[in-house]
Amino acid sequence: MRYNLLILFIFLCSCANGYQSPEATYKNNNDLFLPKLNAFPHCRSYGCNKIDTTSLTAAEQAQIKSLFKSNNDTKSERKNIANAIGAFEKIIGKKTGTSADIAGTYVRLGHMQQDCVDESTNTTTYLILLEQMGLLRFHSVNQLTSRPPILSGRLGPHRTAVIIENDTQTKYAVDSWFHDNGQVAEIVELDTWRWGWHPDNSID
């Protein structure tokens, strides 16, 4: 019982950081720096406890860009973004050891595991890099967003990266936490996500 309460306390502390702009994610953490293609931070070990500096080679950038060959409208761009987040995780996972990361937070423990703070921060980094590569035509990177347990209907609060559709100003959660490293990210309207949305058969 005490162990379960400790795990709950850690989760509440790590995932309840509230609203932040993409830039504030880095400025409010002295160990993070603004991402560029040749050097960007990568979080792991719960709440960005461990931060690696990594980068993309020209070949890796080309691999990401190839996912956006068909990018004709908002729907196709969101699909491309979801695939790109998975591709980023595969590429970076091999460099940092987080290819071992599995869905959720506490099913497996260790420095290569990532909680929602790690995942949402890394996803925001990848989204900013997509912007820097000129691949986002219909969306922009928005502030990170959290939801409390009373809305999640699960163990604790949860945080996600966010994009906003430029024309309609509709916000979408871009959430990679639900799946193992390298899987396609979930993208769902933020209002739906905020009220406790989870993909089928997901875990906490």
Mapping DSSP onto H, E and C, the string for the chain reads CHHHHHHHHHHHHHHCCCCECHHHHHHCCCCCCCCECCEEEEEECCCCCEEEEECCCHHHHHHHHHCCCCCCCHHHHHHHHHHHHHHHHHHHHHHHCHHHCCCCCCCCCCCCCCCHHHHHHHHHHHHHHHHHCCCCCCEEEEEEEEECHHHHCCCCCEEEEEEEECCCCCEEEEECCCCCCCCCCEEEEHHHHHCCCCCCCCCC
- 186 falls within a domain: yes
- 164 falls within a domain: yes
- 111 falls within a domain: yes
Q: What is the pLDDT of residue 8?
A: 38
Q: What is the pLDDT of residue 202?
A: 56
Give the span between the Cα atoms of 12 and 92, in whole angstroms: 27
28: exposed, middle or buried (Cβ count in 10 Å: 0-12, 13-18, 19+): exposed
CA angle 52, 119, 40 (to 5 degrees): 35
**What tokens appear for 118 in the block?**
């790690």
Q: Provide the residue range defining the domain that includes 110.
A: 33-194
Q: What is the pLDDT of residue 110?
A: 56
The amino acid sitting at 167 is D
Q: What is the pLDDT of residue 14?
A: 45
Dmax (CA) of the chain: 53
Q: What is the pTM of this model?
A: 0.87
- 113 falls within a domain: yes
- 126 falls within a domain: yes
Structural domain total, the chain: 1
User: For the chain (length 204 residues), average pLDDT per consecutive 10?
Assistant: 39 48 78 93 92 97 97 97 98 94 68 87 97 97 86 70 96 96 97 90 53
HSE, CB side, 13 Å, CA atoms: give it for residue 46.
15
- 128 falls within a domain: yes
- 83 falls within a domain: yes
- 41 falls within a domain: yes
Give the span between the Cα atoms of 164 and 143, in whole angstroms: 9
- Residue 144 and residue 127 in contact, taking contact as beta carbons nearer than 8 Å: no
Q: What is the pLDDT of residue 35?
A: 95
